[in-house]
Amino acid sequence: MFQSLSANSPALKQLNKKVDAEPEKVEKAAQISIPMLMEALNRNTNNPQGAQSLAKALEQHQDDNVDNLEKFLQNVDTEDGSKILEHIFSNKKQAVQSNLSKTTGLKQDQVSSIMASLAPMILGFLGNQKKTQNLDADGVSSLTSLLSQNLQKNTGGSLFSMATKLLDANKDGSIIDDVLNIFGKFKKR
């Protein structure tokens, strides 16, 4: 199961160490990035070609150990993460990162590093699920859709809402544990 990325977690401290920024800003960037990345992946799988492409990419991440997020983030391949972001957002990558930079108060290179660290984590989780549940492209599309719906339900709105409101089901001030709880429920299956 995922560790929490809440304010004082070792995993969030590891992310903060990578970008050397105020922990609150790093947490906010992670809080916004995870639902945004998940929704973008879901939208990409809404057509058979996109679903097939993601299913193939997940095979490269199916054995990633995302159970220990601190260790995963310490060793994450951010070059791979940057390539993942290019595939997810294509020509909108810079705009997405610029908007997140403005929203969080972080520099764009810091946002880029955070997102390039989180993207492989999400693909690692999805890759694990693909392998464990023996999912084909349609199954991957259903999984991303279900995760995205759960995130939308918890935020009560659209992608913009997910990216700008705090997803905080348990009212502890952090959405990350709630997002990872959603992922964790799938991991147990």
pLDDT in tens, 72-90: 999 999 999 999 999 988 8
d(CA 70, CA 19): 15
Lowest mean pLDDT among 95-104, 147-156, 164-173: 164-173
b/e code 74-101 from CB counts within 10 Å (16+ = b):
eebebeebbebbebbbeeebeebbebbb
pTM of the complete model: 0.80
Do the beta carbons of residue 132 and residue 98 sit within 8 Å? no
> Using alpha carbons only, what angle is made at residue 87 by residues 106 and 127, rounded to the nearest 5 degrees?
95
Query: Which of these, 67, 65, 64, 111, lies nearest to 85 by C-alpha position?
Result: 111
> Using alpha carbons only, what angle is made at residue 68 by residues 57 and 87, rounded to the nearest 5 degrees?
25
d(CA 35, CA 30): 9
pLDDT at 152: 65
